[in-house]
Amino acid sequence: MSDLRTDEVNDLLHVLAEMQDEDAIYALMEDLFTIREIRETSQRLAVARMLDEGKPYVAIEQATGASATTIARVSKALNYGAGGYRSALDILGAQEG
């Protein structure tokens, strides 16, 4: 994680944390990343959500189009990672509730 904690990454995190306007966030994401990168990253979050719901890999593959390798990586991060997926899923759960 120490390789990730740079001044540049910190600046990006501060910008994202402060942005309130959804359209502005979309615009920044579109400027920073390719559409493919945004979709792949979003797909991983959807995979994490489905794993957390106890869905089997086959159902996740069919629903998201994610490969078994991607699902396994997300599963490993969800269960043994730094806790980022858990925090994201908690935020999404609070929005739904």
| pLDDT tens by residue, 24-43 | 999 999 999 999 999 999 99
Per-residue pLDDT of 45-79, as tens digits, reads: 999 999 999 999 999 999 999 999 999 999 999 99
Residue-level pLDDT at 32: 97
**Helix residue ranges, H only, the chain:** 7-18, 22-32, 35-52, 57-64, 68-80, 84-96
Residue 9 predicted with pLDDT over 80: yes
Residue 1 predicted with pLDDT over 60: no
Q: How confident is the model at residue 97 (pLDDT cuts 50, 70, 90)?
A: low
